[in-house]
Amino acid sequence: MHPYVEKIASIGAKANPTFQTLGIEPVSWGDGKAVLRMTVTPHLHNGSGFLQGGFYVILADEAIALAILATAGEDEGTATISETTSFLRGVSEGEIYGVAAITRKGRRIVFAEGEVRKGSPDGELLSKTVVSYTMTRA
């Protein structure tokens, strides 16, 4: 098992400083999937009173990384090749979920998608992120 995933399993959000800063909580991971939860608070708003777009990207990206690393060996890591996010709807309060899944995994390249959803992992779709990562060796 990858050391990061072991840390998530043993100490939860404390394993990742970004999780602690933004209040992200790991919900589930395994089988090429992961779910994270975050509460939208006013200090994360943009000037229009909605969650600033970068936080959608962070939540999706962190869920994708956890989904991928949960399938990785202890000596493997990841590096982003490309990442594109489409923003579909704004949100100003409540819980949002980063829901990620690997869509294709080759020997060195992994393709995955992450969605940010309102209220539950199956809730209203707020954004969609598509990525490709390369697997690295330590």
Instruction: For 22-38, write each residue's pLDDT tens digit.
Output: 999 999 999 999 999 99
With CA atoms as reference, report the closest residue to 55 among 8, 23, 78: 23
Give the Cα separation of 127 and 14 in Å (integer).
26
Beta bridge partners of 67: none
**What global pTM score does this model have?**
0.96
Q: pLDDT tens digit string along 110-137?
A: 999 999 999 999 999 999 999 999 999 8
- Residue 45: is its pLDDT beyond 90? yes
Number of domains in the chain: 1
- Residue 76's Cβ-count burial label (10 Å; 0-12, 13-18, 19+) is middle
Domain containing residue 26: CATH number: 3.10.129.10
Domain hosting 122: range is 3-137
- Bridge partners (DSSP) of residue 72 are none
